[in-house]
Structure 1
Amino acid sequence: MVASPADTQGPALAPASPPPVRPASDFRAALKDSSSVGLALFPLGIALGVLVVHAGLAWWWAPVFTAFVYAGSLEFLLVGLVAAATPLAQVALTAFLVNFRHVFYALSFPLHRVKSGWGKGYSTFALTDEAYALTTGEAARSWNGRRIVWLQALCQVYWVAGGTAGALFGALVPARLEGLDFALTALFAVLAVDAYRARRDIPTPVLALVCALAARFAVPGQMLLGALGLFTACLLIRHALTKKEPVRA
């Protein structure tokens, strides 16, 4: 018998599988993703630390707030509440109203990509405005859970480091630095522009602007909560109307 070419070549080799993504690669990618956000979070954290010491609190309150509360705008309010010895019930109500927007974030945040239990727990705790904006964009659809958790952790590192530095050197810094409070607003403006460039959906930003203006005049004391609720309702109505449109051949 004459051996066939397949017999003389030996067993067929299995196709090579792609190399697994190393955790170090996820860290480096997250560091690159979060670097622009850190440029705003670190100086804003400094402002919080300065506010802590100028409110008469010990410097270590800044790392406590930034590490365990980690709620951005709520922390600025919390400094005054703690300094005034505000009742716990009022603090809890304030925290609920300020952070109620996170309920809407949870609807589309990619928590399902985080596999480990501790990772899910920390990712839920560290779900901030910046983390949501970065992880729900078009470019982040391929990110795995490790990269998402690393990004959130790095964002908190910037915040804790800035708050601690501001508290330690707060006595050398004026109580108010003009323009520093605009850093976070500028950050969200840039993130909004990037989101529009990734998905050029003109009705969405126009609708958001209309909802913000309506809430500004209807409920000026709770503009953020009113705008978010109205915007969510409008998006649900828009989705329902778009879904019912017949598909054109």
Structure 2
Amino acid sequence: MKKAFRAAFPVTVPVLLGYLFVGLAFGVLLRQGGYGPLWAAGMSAAVYAGSMQFVMLNFLGGGFSLVQVALMTLAVNFRHLFYGLSFTERFRQMGKKRWYMIYALTDETYSLLCSQRAPEGVEQGQFFFAIALLDELYWIAGAVLGTVVGGLLPFDTTGIDFAMTALFIVIAVEQWQAYKSRFPALWGAGCALACLLLLGPDKFLIPALLLAVLGLLACSRPIVKKLGEEGEQ
């Protein structure tokens, strides 16, 4: 496991930088709501869904039923159902660690698991586990730090959440460079753009994901063949 964590740390540095800043913003907002570091650590460890944690800040004020909370959580994190489809077999081979991997499969962790391979001498399952655990620790650290800083040095956090967008861009560029097959990236971008134009920013995400998954499933054999050829090279 020590080798796995040493190998995983360099590839998770982009997530570290993104999570620290976005977690910091969440922690500051949580502090403004009257909650301290223990709340930040507990929420980040138990919920661990960056966008949903920001939504939860509204729930803490009351006025929402459990049904509303459940539906909002499903809508915000519905995309995670698709993430797990491509890792079902790999997670099954990881034994008891699979339960944590299912829980910790965030957007950024999913992107790293798709693009990274364990170096020689490191078991793939342990490498994946190290990536997932490090990513969660980064998020918890950022949130806790935000509550501390928010209590000592109040400041304007306008625009700080762009760190997450920047993080997605960096990971997308890395995946674009890692694979010669451009179809999955282009197809996903095309589906997102088409649904955005047709449905608007509030309703495009789930239809875009469905369309992207259906298209990739239909073309899965040539894509897998292409990726296999890249691996052999």
Same fold (TM over 0.5): yes
What is the deviation of 1:133? 0.5
Q: Which amino acid aligns with 1:211?
A: C
1:45 Cα deviation after fit: 0.5
Kept in 2, the 8 Å contact 1:49–1:167? The answer is yes
Mark the structure with the bigger radius of gyration. 1
Equivalent in the alignment of 1:111: 91
Q: How far apart in 2 are the matches of 1:225 and 1:172? A: 40
Q: Deviations over 1:120-160 (max 9, x none)?
A: 11111111111111111254597521121111111111100
Corresponding residue number in structure 2 for 1:99: 77
Displaced runs of 4 or more, over 6 A: 240-243
Residues 37 and 144 in structure 2, CA contact (< 8 A), matched pair in contact too: yes
241 and 198 in structure 1: CA distance in 2 versus 1, 3 angstrom threshold: closer
> Contact 2:191 / 2:212 at 8 angstroms: preserved in 1?
yes
For residues 127-138 of structure 1, what are the structure 2 equivalents within 5 Å? 127-137=105-115
CA distance in 2, matches of 1:241, 1:87: 47
Partner of residue 73 from structure 1, selected from 48, 51, 76: 51
SS in 1 for 2:207: helix
CA distance in 2, matches of 1:27, 1:108: 23
**What letter matches 1:219 in structure 2?**
L
Is the contact made by 1:131 and 1:151 (CA closer than 8 Å) also made in structure 2?
yes
TM-superposed deviation, 1:98: 1.0
How far residue 34 of structure 1 moved from its aligned partner, in angstroms, is: 1.3
| Shift of residue 57, structure 1, vs aligned partner | 3.8
Distance in structure 2 (CA, Å) of the matches to 1:175 and 1:55: 15
Instruction: State percent identity of aligned pairs.
Output: 35
Which string of whole-angstrom CA distances, capped at 9 and with x for unpartnered residues, describes residues 28-84 of structure 1? 112222122101111110000011122344443221211100011111001112223
Structure 2 counterpart of 1:198, from 163, 178, 190: 178
SS of 1:177's partner is coil
1:141-156 counterparts in 2 under 5 A? 144-156=124-136
- Kindly indicate whether residue 142 of structure 2 is the aligned counterpart of residue 162 of structure 1: yes
Match of 2:205 in 1: 224
For CA contacts below 8 A with separation 6 or more, give which structure has more relative contact order.
2
Quote how far apart the aligned CAs of 1:241 are.
8.6
Q: How many residues align?
A: 219
Amino acid at match of 2:81: V
**Which of the numbers 38, 46, 52 marks the counterpart of 2:16?**
38
Cα RMSD of the aligned pairs, angstroms, is: 2.3
Aligned residues of 2:118 and 2:127 also touching (Cα < 8 A): no
Change (3 A) 1:127 1:147: same
Q: Is the 8 A contact 1:114 1:144 kept in 2?
A: no
Deviation per residue, 1:7-28 (Å, 9 max, x gap): xxxxxxxxxxxxxxxx211121
| Secondary structure in 2 matching 1:77 | helix
Change (3 A) 1:219 1:240: farther
The structural deviation recorded for 1:113 is: 4.1
The offset of 1:223, in angstroms, is 2.1
User: CA contact under 8 A between 2:7 and 2:118: conserved in structure 1?
Assistant: no
Q: Which residue of 2 aligns with 1:82?
A: 60
Q: Which amino acid is the alignment partner of residue 147 of structure 1?
A: F
Q: Which one is further off, 217-226 or 73-82?
A: 217-226
**Structure 2-normalised TM-score?**
0.85
Worse overlay, 33-42 or 48-57 = 48-57
Q: Would you say the 8 A contact 1:30–1:151 is kept in 2?
A: yes
- How does the TM-score come out when normalised to structure 1? 0.80
